[in-house]
Amino acid sequence: MKYIKAVGFDQHLPIENPESFQDIKIDTPEAHGHDLLVRVDGVSVNPVDTFVRKSGRKNRLSKPKIIGWDSVGVVIDAGEDVTLFNKGDRVWYAGDFTRSGSNAQNQLVDERIVGFAPKNLTDEQAVAVPLVGLTAYESLFEKLGIDWTGNENKTLLIINGAGGVGSIAIQLAKLAGLTVIATASRDNSISWAKKMGADYVINHHQDLVSQVKHLNTKYVDYILNLNNLDAHWNEISELIKPDGQIVATTENHRLIDLQKLTKKRATFAWEWMYSKSYFKTETMISQNKILNHLSQLYVDNDLLPIHTISYPVINASNMRKAHADVETGSMIGKVVLTSWEK
Amino acid sequence: MKYIKAVGFDQHLPIENPESFQDIKIDTPEAHGHDLLVRVDGVSVNPVDTFVRKSGRKNRLSKPKIIGWDSVGVVIDAGEDVTLFNKGDRVWYAGDFTRSGSNAQNQLVDERIVGFAPKNLTDEQAVAVPLVGLTAYESLFEKLGIDWTGNENKTLLIINGAGGVGSIAIQLAKLAGLTVIATASRDNSISWAKKMGADYVINHHQDLVSQVKHLNTKYVDYILNLNNLDAHWNEISELIKPDGQIVATTENHRLIDLQKLTKKRATFAWEWMYSKSYFKTETMISQNKILNHLSQLYVDNDLLPIHTISYPVINASNMRKAHADVETGSMIGKVVLTSWEK
C-alpha cells in the first residue's frame, strides 16, 4: 500500500463549512531513528485540535495539513534506533505538536512519547485518554509536585472538572488520596464530576470563594485551572493557601496580577503536554513511563473510561461533527472516532 | 529596668528629615507562650525597612512605630511554652512582619523563627545575615526546589547578585554545586559578586539574553530575580529553560505576561520570608532550622560575612544614615548597626 487515507484541510475554516475537513490520500511515511510507524485505529478530538484548525492565515495552504494528536493503534514498522516497542504492539500516545497528526491511517511518532495501550480497553475507550491523561498526570505529579501517598489532609480544587483533563485529574487525585473539589455548572456535568469521584462539586458560574468557605475550607492546597484563567484569577489567589501551588493548562488572554500571590509566596506553573517533545527535553521519555502507568491503572480497574461521544468511522464528515462537539465548549468527557472505511 | 531605649517614628517621612527617626523610650515587653524576650545587640537595615518607613498615610501616628527585622542578641526571658532556647542563648532572627521591630533594646519574638547565632561571628557580622539568609535559602531550596547535591550540570542566574540576598544566594548556590551567573553593573559590585563566588558576572543594564548566549548557554535551569521583575520579565522568559523554575523576591508594579512561559511550562514562585509567620503556617518552625543551618555553615567557614557598612551605635541618627545607604539602591552587601549608648 503506497497511498493511505487521511483527513486534512487546506484552509482554516469554520466547522460549519463542508470544506473545513476533507478526505484525502497521502504517501505512507517511512520510519527512521526512534520513530514508530503506527497503523492508527482510533483518534480523539481535544480543544487543541479545534484551536489549530480555526487559527492561522486565511489563504489556502500549499498542501493539506493533517492534525490530530490522540491515537490508538498498532506498530507496523520501527526505525533503526527503536528499543521500547516491536511490530505488532498495540500502543497509545498523544503525539508531537510539530509533526503530522494522527488523522491518517499511518503515522510516525517518536517511541519515547508512546506507551502500551491497556489491553482491557477498546479502541474507543483507549483513545480518549492519552492527551488528557498526560496533561492531568503531569499537572498533578510534576507541576504541583503531589506525591502518591500522604495526601489525607490535602485538598485540590479543579476548575472545570467535567471536561477531558478534569475527568482524569479527579480520578488520579482521588487515587492519590486527596480531597477533590471540582467545578461544574449543569446537571449532567455535575453528575459526571461526581461519577469521576469528586468529593464536592461547586458551580463555576457563581463565586468560588464563598462556595469553598461553605465547605468549611478557607484555603485549598492545590489548584488545577482548566478554564479561563483570567476570569478565575482573583478567586484562585484568594483560595490558594500560603505556600500553595497553582497549575493551569489553558492559555490566558490578559496580563496577570501576580502581586496577588506575593504575601502567600504561592507558586504558579503552566502545564503544556507538548512541551517535552517540542523542546526535545531529556525528560521526554517520561511520557512513555506516564502512558504505561496510566495503562496499568486501567488494567487494574483503577480508572474509569471517559469517552462520551463516539463516531464509528474516521472520515472528514465525522471529524467535522467531532470538532463541532468540542466547539460547543460544554463537552463532558471526550469525543472519539474509530476505524477507517474499507 | 522598666523603660528601654528604642528608635521609632510617628510620621512616614523622607530620610533627609531629622524627624524621620527619633530616639524614644518604651516599656519593656513581657514574654508569654512561645515568645522569647531578646536583648537586641545589633540590627541591620533591609529594603523592607525603608519601604515600610516611607509608605503609609501622611498623618501623625497615635504612638511611635518601631520597625527593624534583623536582630542578633541574647535571650533574657522566655514564655511558658518555649522549648528551643534558654536564657543566655545568643540568637539571630529576622522577625515577624506584623510585630514590633528589633530597633529596640528588648524585643519579643516567637522561638520558632529564631536560630542560634554562629559563635565565630561578631554581632556586626551576624546581624547582616538572617533576613537575606532566610530569603536566599527559602528561594533556592524551597521555592526552586534545588537539592544540596547533584547540581553539576545546573545553572542559576541571579539578577542583582551584589545586594544582600544575592550575596548569600551566590554562596549557597555554589555550596550546592551549581554554576552561578550573577548580574552587577559597577566595578565594585562586579568584584563583590565574584568574591561571593559567582562563576560569571554579566551586566543587568545590558541585554541579558545575548550576554548569557555569549557564555555558550542558551537556557538556564533556574532564575532568582532580586530586582525589578517588570524590567527583566522578557529576558527571564527567554532565558529560562523548558520546565525551568523562576523565583522572585521583589514586588512588581505592572501586570505580567504569563503567556510567555506557556510553551516552556515553566514555574514562577514568589519568595516572601515573612510569609510563614504572617500566616502562622505549620512550616513556621522551618525558619528555626534554616537559621541553625546557616549558623553551622558560618561555623564551618563555608560562608563569607556580607556586611559592608557598620555603624557602632544603634540610635536615630545612625538609623537615618543606614536607611539613606539602602535608599541609594546601590548597596553592596549589608549595612548594620550594633550596641546601644550607655
The predicted-structure confidence for A201-210, as pLDDT tens digits, reads as follows 999 999 999 9
Please tell me if residue B281 touches chain A, with a CB cutoff of 8 Å.
Answer: yes
Write out the H or E segment, with its range, that includes residue B41.
Answer: strand B35-45
Give chain B positions within 8 Å (CB) of A96: none
| ipTM of the complex, rounded to two decimals | 0.91
Range(s) of chain B covered by CATH 3.90.180.10? 3-128+277-338
pLDDT at B342: 84
Name the pLDDT band for B250 (thresholds 50, 70, 90): confident
Which residue, among B62, B61, B41, has the nearest Cα to B52 in the 3D structure?
B61
B-chain residue closest to A268, CA distance: B268
Average pLDDT, chain A: 96
d(CA B322, CA B320): 5
DSSP A105-121: SEEEEEGGGEEEPPTTS
B111 to chain A nearest CA, in Å?
21
When pLDDT is averaged across residues A306-316 and rounded to a whole number, the result is 98
Say yes or no to pLDDT of B206 above 90: yes
**Sign of the CA dihedral running B139, B141, B142, B145:** positive
Which residue, among A175, A32, A164, A174, has the nearest Cα to A94 in the 3D structure?
A164
Which residue, among A255, A159, A253, has the nearest Cα to A208 in the 3D structure?
A159
CB B31 within 8 A of CB B78: yes
Which residue, among A68, A29, A71, has the nearest Cα to A316 in the 3D structure?
A68
Give chain B positions within 8 Å (CB) of A224: none
Which residue, among A312, A277, A310, A308, has the nearest Cα to A291 in the 3D structure?
A277
CA B50 to chain centre: 13
B107 to chain A nearest CA, in Å?
24
d(CA A108, CA A93): 11
Which residue, among B196, B206, B189, has the nearest Cα to B156 in the 3D structure?
B196
| A316-335 pLDDT per residue, tens | 999 999 999 999 988 999 99
d(CA B233, CA B223): 11
Q: Output the CA–CA distances (angstroms, integers) from residue A214 to A151, A156, A200, A219, B329, in the order listed.
A: 22, 16, 11, 12, 47
When pLDDT is averaged across residues B250-260 and rounded to a whole number, the result is 88
CB B254 within 8 A of CB B230: yes
Interchain CB distance below 8 Å, B243 and A281: yes
Say yes or no to pLDDT of B1 above 80: no
pLDDT at A253: 85
Write out the H or E segment, with its range, that includes residue B286.
Answer: helix B286-299
- Burial of residue B40 (number of CB atoms within 10 Å: 0-12, 13-18, 19+): buried
Residues 6 or more apart in contact with residue B256 via CB below 8 angstroms: A255, A256, A257, A258, B229, B230, B233
> C-alpha cell of A166?
478534569
pLDDT at A2: 77
When pLDDT is averaged across residues B276-290 and rounded to a whole number, the result is 97
When pLDDT is averaged across residues A299-317 and rounded to a whole number, the result is 98
pLDDT at B59: 86
Q: How is domain B132-270 classified at the CATH fold level?
A: Rossmann fold (3.40.50)
CB B181 within 8 A of CB B157: yes
Please give the DSSP secondary-structure letter assigned to residue B315: S
Say yes or no to pLDDT of B326 above 80: yes
Say yes or no to pLDDT of A52 above 90: yes
Q: Output the CA–CA distances (angstroms, integers) from residue A69 to A9, A29, A45, A72, A329, in the order listed.
A: 15, 17, 8, 10, 19
> C-alpha cell of A140?
498533578
- For residue B301, the one-letter residue type is N
d(CA A8, CA A11): 9
In the CATH scheme, what is the code of domain A3-128+280-338?
A: 3.90.180.10
d(CA A105, CA A5): 6
Please tell me if residue B233 touches chain A, with a CB cutoff of 8 Å.
Answer: no
When pLDDT is averaged across residues B273-288 and rounded to a whole number, the result is 96
Say yes or no to pLDDT of A133 above 80: yes
CB A245 within 8 A of CB A144: yes
d(CA B181, CA B161): 9
HSE-up of residue A126 (Cα within 13 Å, Cβ side): 26
Alpha helices for A183-258 (secondary structure H): 187-196, 208-214, 229-239
> C-alpha cell of A237?
489567589
CA A268 to chain centre: 20
d(CA A326, CA A330): 7
Query: Can you give the C-alpha Rg of chain B in angstroms?
Result: 20
CB A124 within 8 A of CB A310: yes
- Burial of residue B26 (number of CB atoms within 10 Å: 0-12, 13-18, 19+): middle
pLDDT at B56: 82
Name the pLDDT band for A1 (thresholds 50, 70, 90): low
| B299-310 pLDDT per residue, tens | 999 999 999 999
Please tell me if residue A283 touches chain B, with a CB cutoff of 8 Å.
Answer: yes
Range(s) of chain B covered by CATH 3.40.50.720? 132-270
Q: Which CATH architecture has domain B3-128+277-338?
A: Alpha-Beta Complex (3.90)
pTM of the complete model: 0.94
Interchain CB distance below 8 Å, A275 and B265: yes
Size of interface A-B (CB pairs under 8 A): 102
CB atoms < 10 A from the CB of A4, how many? 18
CB A157 within 8 A of CB A222: yes
d(CA B54, CA B51): 5
Write out the H or E segment, with its range, that includes residue A4.
Answer: strand A3-8
Which residue, among A282, A277, A230, has the nearest Cα to A256 in the 3D structure?
A230
E strand segments, B79-167: 90-93, 106-110, 114-116, 155-159
CB atoms < 10 A from the CB of A192, how many? 24
What are the two backbone dihedrals, phi and then psi, of residue B270, each rounded to the nearest 5 degrees? -90, 145
| B230-246 pLDDT per residue, tens | 999 999 999 999 999 99
pLDDT at B58: 82
Average pLDDT, chain B: 96
Please tell me if residue B140 touches chain A, with a CB cutoff of 8 Å.
Answer: no
When pLDDT is averaged across residues B272-282 and rounded to a whole number, the result is 96
Say yes or no to pLDDT of B210 above 70: yes
d(CA B272, CA B40): 24
pLDDT at A342: 84
Give chain A positions within 8 Å (CB) of B261: 270
> C-alpha cell of B41?
545587640
- For residue B94, the one-letter residue type is A
What are the beta bridge partners of residue B311?
A: B337
d(CA A207, CA A217): 14
CB B163 within 8 A of CB B193: no
| A210-237 pLDDT per residue, tens | 999 999 999 999 999 999 999 999 999 9
| B151-162 pLDDT per residue, tens | 999 999 999 999
d(CA A287, CA A268): 22
Please tell me if residue A145 touches chain B, with a CB cutoff of 8 Å.
Answer: yes
User: Percentage of chain B with pLDDT > 70?
Assistant: 100
CB B307 within 8 A of CB B334: yes
pLDDT at A250: 81
Give chain A positions within 8 Å (CB) of B229: 258
Residues 6 or more apart in contact with residue B217 via CB below 8 angstroms: B155, B181
Please tell me if residue B269 touches chain A, with a CB cutoff of 8 Å.
Answer: yes
User: Percentage of chain A with pLDDT > 70?
Assistant: 100
User: Percentage of chain A with pLDDT > 90?
Assistant: 95
Name the pLDDT band for A300 (thresholds 50, 70, 90): very high
